Amino acid sequence: QITLKESGPTLVKPTQTLTLTCTLSGFSLSTTGVGVHWVRQPPGKALEWLAIIYWDGDTWFSPSLKSRLTLSKDTSKNQVVLIMTDMDPVDTATYYCARLHWINKCFDSWGQGTLVTVSS
Amino acid sequence: EIVLTQSPGALSLSPGERATLSCRASQSVSGTYLAWYQQKPGQAPRLIIYGASSRATGIPDRFSGSGSGTDFTLTISRLEPEDFGVYYCQEFGDSLWTFGQGTKVEIK
C-alpha cells in the first residue's frame, strides 16, 4: 500500500524558515522514475504546485517560489524534506506531498496534508 | 507558463443530472499530461482522470474525460450524492505543473 505522510510544525513566525518532511511507504525513492511533489493550498483557495524531486536528485521548482525553496531526499529513510525560507502570513496553507505518476506526469497518491499557519 | 481556466466556478445539480466541467489552457497542452482531481472538504485531492481520458483506479465509469489542444472536459454522466466537491484540472509542461482554480460541484 502506497502512503505518504507530511510532518512538521503547525505554526511558524514571519521571517522564519519552514521545514517539512514527507515520509514515504510502499514505494522507494531510489527506484528509477520515482518523483515526489510538494503542493500547497491556502484555506479556501486552489492548489498550487511548489516543487518536485526525482529519484536521481534532480529538482524543479515553481518559478514564483524558486528562490525560497530547497528540496532534498534521504533515501535510507525514504523521506523528502522541503525547506521554505522567509515565511509570510500569505504562506499559511495546507502543504501536501504527492507521488509523481511517471508516464502521465500527474499526482497519483497524496499525503493527508499538514496545515501550517504563519503568525506572530 | 500555461494558465488553466476552469468553468463554471460552481454548479448546483440534482442527483442523476449530468455535470460538464471545462478546463481551458492558455496554450496547447498534451493530452497525455492533462489530469483531473476531486477534492472533498478536509481531504486531500484524489486523482480521477489522467491522460485526459483515462480513469484512475477505482473511479466509477460515470466519470469521463475528453478534449485536446486547449479545451478539455470532465463529464459526470449521472451525479451521485457523493460526487460533491471541488474538481481541479492539472497539466504538465516544460518541467512545471499547473492547476486550474477549480469548479465546485454542489448536489441539490
Q: Is the pLDDT of residue B1 over 90?
A: no
pLDDT tens for A33-89 read 999 999 999 999 999 999 999 999 999 999 999 999 999 999 999 999 999 999 999
Hey, is the C-beta of B100 within 8 angstroms of any chain A C-beta?
A: yes
Q: How many CB pairs under 8 A join A and B?
A: 61
Whole-number Cα distances in Å, B54 to B36, B47, B72: 10, 11, 13
The answer to whether B44 contacts A96, with C-beta atoms less than 8 Å apart, is yes
pLDDT tens for B69-104 read 999 999 999 999 999 999 999 999 988 999 999 999
Q: Are B104 and B86 in contact (CB under 8 A)?
A: yes
State the Cα angle at A107 between A80 and A69, rounded to 5°.
40
pLDDT tens for B14-43 read 999 999 999 999 999 999 999 999 999 999
What DSSP element (H or E) covers B55?
strand B54-55
- Strand pairing category for B10-13 and B103-107: parallel
**Which residue on chain A is closest to B37 by alpha carbon?**
A107
For the record, the C-alpha cell of B62 comes out as 460515470
Q: For residue A105, give the nearest of B33, B100, B101 by CB distance.
A: B33
Question: If DSSP codes are grouped into helix, strand and coil, which group holds residue A80?
Answer: strand
* B8 CA: distance to closest CA in chain A (Å): 15
For A20-37, what is the mean pLDDT?
Answer: 96
Instruction: Calculate the CA dihedral of residues A71, A36, A39, B102 and round it to 10 degrees.
Output: 150
Would you tell me which residues 3-32 of chain A have a C-beta closer than 8 angstroms to some C-beta of chain B? Answer: none
Hey, is the C-beta of B90 within 8 angstroms of any chain A C-beta?
A: yes
Cα–Cα distance for residue pair A109/B58, rounded to 1 Å: 13
> Cell 485531492, residue?
B45
For the record, the C-alpha cell of A72 comes out as 532534498
The answer to whether A108 contacts B56, with C-beta atoms less than 8 Å apart, is yes
Share of chain A above pLDDT 70, in %: 100
